[in-house]
Each structure stands twice: as structure tokens, then as C-alpha cells.
């Protein structure tokens, strides 16, 4: 009984400590289109959460037509700057990534694949 109370006390203390600490700055943003059928497009970033610098921007088209081996994808930053990349087939998906190399404004970071009518947008929030 004393051992279980001690374990409970340590667990509660650890949980309180973790809750009081600021969360680590990882996985800045992510979003996918959500449709019951048809193509699904996703966009995500790695880097500091709440930062204008998202690190790497990843995008994928999870269920493209079987004969598509590549597709042009447009990634649009909140200020309207657009990257045009070629996504290549990998494990049944079309994927592409870019490291912007510049700071982004607050707003939506979006990905649109040519050949798909779907656009995925993630919210970028600059807390600096």
C-alpha cells in the first residue's frame, strides 16, 4: 500500500512538472484534406512551433491515380510566395519537401497538387 501511494505521488508530481513546463518547440503545423473518397492532400512542417521559421515543409498526395509517378505541387506561403516542386512517387504516395530558407508571416501555408482539386492548408503562427 505504501509503495503504491509513493508511486502515485511520484507520478502526480512528474505530471504536474511536465504540465507546468513549456511544451517543446516541434512540429509547427500540419493539415490534411478530409474527404470520404477521392484524393487526400497533406502538408506539414517541422521546426519550431510558434516560429516564423517552419524548418522543412512536407507535402503528400496519399492516393493519386495509379499511373501517376510524379506531379507538380505548389506550396504557397502566407505572404503569397509560391514554391513549385515536383513530387515523386514513394510508397504509393506522391511526396515533396522544401526548406524555405526564409521567415514566414502568420497565416495559411497551403499545398495544391496539379491534377487534384484538393488544397491542404496549415496555420503558421509567429510567436516571436
Give per-residue pLDDT as tens, 107-116.
Answer: 899 999 998 8
Is residue 87 scored above 90 in pLDDT? yes
Helices (H) and strands (E) in the chain, counts: 1, 8
Identify the band that residue 4 occupies on the pLDDT scale cut at 50, 70 and 90.
very low
Could you tell me the three cell numbers for 75?
Answer: 506550396
pLDDT in tens, 32-76: 887 666 678 999 887 665 555 667 889 999 888 889 999 999 999
Is residue 24 scored above 60 in pLDDT? no
Domain ranges, ordered by start, for the chain: 24-124
Instruction: Check residue 40 and give its pLDDT.
Output: 87
The CATH class that applies to domain 24-124 reads mainly beta
Amino acid at each position: 500500500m505504501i509503495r503504491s501511494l509513493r508511486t502515485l505521488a511520484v507520478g502526480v508530481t512528474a505530471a504536474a512538472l511536465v504540465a507546468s513546463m513549456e511544451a517543446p518547440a516541434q512540429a509547427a503545423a500540419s493539415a490534411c484534406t478530409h474527404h470520404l473518397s477521392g484524393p487526400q492532400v497533406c502538408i506539414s512542417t517541422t521546426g519550431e512551433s510558434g516560429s516564423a521559421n517552419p524548418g522543412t515543409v512536407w507535402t503528400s498526395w496519399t492516393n493519386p491515380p495509379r499511373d501517376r509517378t510524379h506531379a507538380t505541387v505548389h506550396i504557397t506561403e502566407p505572404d503569397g510566395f509560391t514554391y513549385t516542386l515536383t513530387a515523386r512517387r514513394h510508397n504509393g504516395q506522391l511526396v515533396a519537401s522544401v526548406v524555405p530558407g526564409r521567415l514566414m508571416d502568420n497565416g495559411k501555408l497551403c499545398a495544391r497538387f496539379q491534377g487534384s482539386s484538393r488544397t491542404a492548408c496549415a496555420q503558421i503562427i509567429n510567436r516571436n
